[in-house]
Amino acid sequence: MRKYHVYGIGNALVDMEYEVDVSDLVKLRIDKGVMTLVDADHQIRIMDHLKGHHHRKGSGGSVANSIIAVSQLGGRGFHSCKVANDTLGRFYMDDLITGGVDTNHHTHREDGHTGCCVVLVTPDSDRTMVTHLGVSGDLAEQELVPEALRASDYLYTEGYLVTSDSARRLSITAKGIAEAAGVKTAISLSDPNLVTHFKAGLMAMIGGGIDLLFANEAEAKGMADTEDLNAATAFLKTIAKEFAITRGPEGALVYDGNAMIEIAPVKVAAVDTLGAGDMFAGAFLYGRTQGWGHKRSGDLAAAASAKLVTSLGPRLSTEETQAVLRRFL
């Protein structure tokens, strides 16, 4: 048995989540429903505009959310990331370790700013993200812990790493180490904007193929340059042995390497979709590393992500996550 179920590599971002109206997005000239990278000054101006809005703070980042979900479900996770020697960096690492996740945390951290993501939630439960990566934009091979990676069932990386040259190279290096050690590889496409603007970089991260790919429907279609879902799934079969396509209220599609499996949606009243894809990936990876089949893993992932969207924030409590799990044991 390997030491870790999932070894993750991703951006370390402290989420600042605000409830806003669509008119706020218009005033701030922010594209709705996607992630936009900005510099620190631009992000500060946005937060100044939102001073009168209630907000919540929490540690985030796509892979971090998934790895913590794995841990909450009872799995063992490791997360490689980069934070600065500042208040947000200390908050982030404390939260990660409290979540039961091992990490490459160091006694000495460089000066600078820990990454921050301003999350804008509109009344339709959609989330729009404005991200300043801070030192996470310099995530590089020095953050990699090869012995922990080799001792894992899966390597899981996020498409968001494609925006940084050093992080993209790290992802490619880690994939090579994983494949040489017999560790399965998984990736999330992360955001439709990335597929639009960084497709070549994403394909470089996928390389000769990936064991497991996660995407939402828009990302899957974007990678295949099509509006036809069947054509998109046909394309994904050429770059991934297995994949999961989330479809919001329509459930999900899972390809197990031989057949397409429909995962039924769990009907809920959505409040905030932030982190839903991360929860789906984390729960699905947990199921697969426990020897569960694709259908059972997909059903757990759908139930956990449905529970997540009924409240604000990118994560459930451990108690809530365990309550979902018990329905599948």
With respect to residue 39, please indicate whether it lies within any of the assigned structural domains.
no
Percent of the chain clearing pLDDT 90 (strictly above): 78
Domain of 252: which CATH number?
3.40.1190.20
Q: What is the pLDDT of residue 107?
A: 56
Asked if the structure places residue 24 within a domain, the reply is no
Please say if the pLDDT value at position 233 is more than 90.
yes
Q: Report residue 138 as tokens.
A: 């310099």
Among the residue ranges 54-63, 164-173, 225-234, 243-252, the one predicted with the least confidence is 54-63
Output the pLDDT for position 271: 84
DSSP letters spanning 33-88? TSEEE--HHHHHHHHHHTTTS-EEEEEE-HHHHHHHHHHHHT--EEEE----SSHH
pLDDT over threshold 70, residue 108? no
Residue 50 within a domain: no
In the structure, what pLDDT confidence band is assigned to residue 228 with cuts at 50, 70 and 90?
very high
Q: What does the DSSP 8-state code read for residue 231?
A: H
Q: How many of the other CB atoms lie within 10 Å of CB of 145?
A: 15
d(CA 2, CA 243): 23
- Chain mean pLDDT for the chain: 94
From CA 212, how far away is CA 257, in angstroms rounded?
A: 10
Residue 132 lies inside a defined structural domain of this protein: no
Q: What is the pLDDT of residue 53?
A: 84
Residue 101 placed within a domain: yes
The answer on pLDDT for 106 being more than 70 is: no
66 close to 281: Cβ distance less than 8 angstroms: yes
Q: 253, 260 in Cβ contact below 8 A?
A: yes
- Asked, for residue 34, whether it belongs to a domain, the answer is no
Domain count, the chain: 1
69: domain range? 4-11+63-105+138-326
In a domain, 22, yes or no: no
78, 102 in Cβ contact below 8 A?
Answer: yes
Q: Which two tokens stand for residue 57?
A: 């703070």
pTM above 0.85, yes or no: yes
- Is the pLDDT at 274 greater than 70? The verdict is yes
pLDDT tens by residue, 7-60: 999 999 998 889 899 999 999 999 999 889 999 899 989 999 998 888 888 888
- Whether 41 maps to a domain, the answer reads no
